[in-house]
């Protein structure tokens, strides 16, 4: 696992911003098989995450020197990712998609 993947899973996917994105973007059924249970929101591409990832480190650096960096950090945690291409997949189809 790369650092980027680690940050994505351990941090980004736990932020309130991602939870808001899920509430707003997740459909009621899997786009591949139509299942309606254990649905995941899969990123087709990550333009916003690429930016988020850079801003995340930048916010920590700013925060180290100036406490206003904390607000920058907080903003990154709560702003939802609404621009990335995503699709709703059930757990099984999602696993296949990542193979």
Give the interface with Zn ion as residue ranges (CB under 5 A).
30, 32-33, 35, 42, 90, 93
Closest CB to Zn ion among residues 22, 42: 42
Nearer to Zn ion, 67 or 98 (CB): 98
Of 76 and 89, nearer to Zn ion (C-beta) is 89
Give least dist CB 88 to Zn ion, A. 9
Q: Give φ, ψ of 87 to 5 degrees.
A: -145, 150
Task: Please give the structure tokens belonging to residue 5.
Answer: 């993947």
CB closer to Zn ion out of 76 and 90: 90
Half-sphere exposure of 2 (CA within 13 A, CB side): 4
Min separation Cβ 44 and Zn ion, Å = 9
* Shortest separation between residue 42's beta carbon and Zn ion, angstroms: 3
Report the alpha-carbon distance of residue 27 to residue 35 in Å, rounded: 11
CB 60 to Zn ion: min, Å: 26
């Amino acid at each position: 696992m790369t650092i980027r993947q680690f940050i994505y899973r351990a941090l980004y996917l736990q932020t309130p911003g991602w939870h808001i994105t899920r509430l707003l973007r997740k459909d009621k059924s899997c786009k591949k098989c139509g299942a309606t249970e254990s649905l995941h929101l899969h990123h087709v591409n990550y333009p916003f995450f690429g930016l988020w990832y850079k801003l995340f480190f930048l916010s920590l650096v700013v925060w180290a020197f100036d406490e206003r960096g904390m607000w920058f950090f907080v903003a990154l945690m709560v702003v939802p990712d609404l621009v990335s291409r995503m699709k709703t997949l059930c757990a099984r189809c999602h696993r296949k998609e990542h193979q």
